[in-house]
Every structure is written in C-alpha cells, then in structure tokens.
Amino acid sequence: MHEIPKNHPRYKSLIFREKLVQGFRDGYVAIQGLIAHGRGECFDYLIGEKTLEPAIKSMKAAIAALLLAEKPVISVNGNIAALTPAEIVELADEVNAAIEVNLFYRTEDRAEKIAKILYEYGAKEVLGIKDATATIPELHSERRRVSPKGILKADVVLVPLEDGDRTEALRKLGKTVIAIDLNPLSRTARAANITIVDNVIRAMPKMIELAKEMKSLNKNELQSILNNYRNEEVLAEIINQIILRLTKLSSNVKTLVINP
C-alpha cells in the first residue's frame, strides 16, 4: 500500500479506496467493483460526504425491519467485505441476522476468500459458500445461487452495494429489501423497500449504534417506525437536498485566491 499523508483533506476517503484496492490485490474485489466505487464517490460528493437526515430515517426503518424479521439476512459482496468487514459481523450479531456471500462475478475462490475474512472478524457462520445450492428466479448465471438456509428463506434482506436486477428479483420473491446506495436515482434505490442513501463507511457504524439503541423498543414501537416510513419521500428529500446544496454552491463558488 502507498502511504497516504494523514493531513490530506480527503484522507478517510483515500484510506477506504486503498482498502478496496487491497481487496482487489487479494483477489476478492472485482475490477468492476473499483469503478463502481468511483461512481459512489461521485454521489458522496453531491451529498456533501456526510450522512443526511433522511438517511437516518431510512436507517431507523431498516433496523426496525431487521429486528422484527423472522429470518433476516445480510448479503455480502466483495466491496462491502473490503470496506466494512467488522461492521457486517457486528451488525449481524446485534440484529440476529445470518450472513450470506452473494457475488455478481462469482467464483468459488472469491466467495471463500470473503468468508475467510468474515470468520476472521468473528462471524459464527457464513452462508452461500459450499451451500449455495438453491436458485432464485429472474437472475442470470451464478448470481441466482443462494443458500437454502439463508436468502432463500429470508423475509428481510440487507443488500449493501447491490445492483438493480438483484434487488428487483428479491422484491419479486416477496422479500423486504434494504439497500445502501449512494445514488438516489439508481434502479437499486428505486427497487428496494428501504434505501439508505449514504456511504457504507458511515452508514454501517451508525446502523450498529441504532441497533443497540432500538433493541429495547417493543414490537409495536418497531412496527410503527416501519409503517410510517415512505421510501419514495425519503429519496425525493435526498434529491432535493442535493439540488439545494448545488444551488448554494453555484451561488457561491469559492475559488482559490493567491495573494502574491
């Protein structure tokens, strides 16, 4: 890894970029995952590289759905394994969710490497490796393969960094789908029941915090949070905040002035 100067104003973003690059070198992040990460960075700029208030609403609804679920599953791909492996394991613990590996560009080698990382971070069980024997309809190739103990039976699935096709396929199976996606206009964002428009590096720790707080709520309180949630309203709010931010910025573009 290259040394990133600690005083670089985008230090955190560059460190997470390095984590992804390391995941690619280690053979479990797909090269397409690197370009997808870049697209995410762009939308992170647009929301101001911070968690917006509507995203907190989505996270609360997401945690309510996960805590109320009979069989919640967190679906893991290469990018999320590289970026927040510890948080996946901790969140799964907090909400009693199973962890299942599902890859767009699946190879057994990549799946096994990701499982190994999750076990190193303390996962008790990682599904979707040897047991990806069931299939879900409307998806092509290897992505349709899921674990009969995991996604096949799940009622609520958290898919951080997922694509639109798969989100739609899971919805059509009647599952409640929670996505984390920085692009509020993406097919994933529009197909999920609950879309958290935030960077996973901020969203995952925040969701763990919320899970710890919300575990003390009773079922009625959780259900009420979930019932009052409107995904299309949240997406519209996010887009409006981006527009407001851009409007402010455009009325006041600060360029660098050098005094000679």
Name which position in 122, 133, 215, 243 contacts its own copies (CB under 8 A).
243
Q: Which residue lies nearer to its own copies by CB, 32 or 96?
A: 32
Virtual torsion, Cα 89, 229, 138, 239, nearest 10 deg: -90
Sequence-distant contacts of 204-209: CB under 8 A, at least 24 apart? 204/84, 204/87, 204/88, 204/91, 204/160, 204/180, 205/84, 205/87, 206/51, 206/56, 206/59, 207/59, 207/62, 207/63, 207/87, 207/91, 208/87, 208/90, 208/91, 208/94
187 in contact with its own copies (CB under 8 A) = yes
190 in contact with its own copies (CB under 8 A) = yes
**Total of residues contacting its own copies (CB under 8 A):** 63
Two tokens at 21?
């690059």
Name which position in 70, 137, 216, 260 contacts its own copies (CB under 8 A).
260
Biggest alpha carbon distance in the chain?
69
130 in contact with its own copies (CB under 8 A) = no
Contacts with its own copies, 140-179, as mask; x by CB under 8 A:
xx----------------------xx--x--xx-x-----
Nearest CA to 193 among 109, 91, 68?
68
Shortest Å distance, C-beta 121 to its own copies: 24
Name which position in 27, 38, 122, 148 contacts its own copies (CB under 8 A).
38
Q: Which residue lies nearer to its own copies by CB, 127 or 132?
A: 132
Name which position in 11, 27, 39, 96 contacts its own copies (CB under 8 A).
39
Q: Residue 259: how many CA atoms within 13 Å on its side-chain side?
A: 0
34 in contact with its own copies (CB under 8 A) = yes
Q: Which residue lies nearer to its own copies by CB, 217 or 239?
A: 239
Which spans of this chain sit near its own copies (rule: CB under 8 A)?
2-3, 5, 8-10, 17-18, 20-21, 24-25, 31-32, 34-43, 45-46, 105, 140-141, 164-165, 168, 171-172, 174, 183-187, 190-192, 231-233, 235-236, 239-240, 242-243, 246-247, 249-251, 253-256, 258, 260
